[in-house]
Structure 1
């Protein structure tokens, strides 16, 4: 979603011309950073809930669901603690999105321009 929004804005700024690969890569980097930053609290809650079972009984947090985990982490440790460990997650998402989304977009554009295939045909043919 973020990638498509960013590439549409970049195409608009580029007078409707297709984007070069490096601009698609930058859009992928940015989209990955946004998505991972937004999703990091949910990832933290999931990890905490999974790890809870491995802790001794006295140290368990006993979250009943993800929403309660998010609430308690924010209330007990501060709102910014919801983004603990977000740095590596954001960097990983940036790299993955840059590689996957930019190359996907570039290949769809290539097959559309050179062979005349649409996006769906290109996806099925991959």
Structure 2
């Protein structure tokens, strides 16, 4: 039960901090008519969130005295496609790739989930 409250507190704290930053960015963007600072935040924050979800388990593994390896199969099969979704989302707003890709990617929810999956899987690919 202690572990549950530990993770729950991390989730609430990080979520509230992220909501505060996003609100400030959106407010500034609406005043300046510039949405570009909001787009990288909405793509990068879920990656950081996914990494923070995995961080406690990674710290436990760091304390073990074993040789480090990297699970390339998991990284290539799970993390890389998730990263591709996030990168295409950012590039579509920067007008580097066609906006039609936004229709293929779907909604902001897919980008958020892909970011969390990438961040978590990136740290999960490191094995001892």
TM-score over 0.5 for the pair: no
TM-score band, normalised by shorter chain: 0.3 to 0.5
State TM-score, norm by structure 2.
0.33
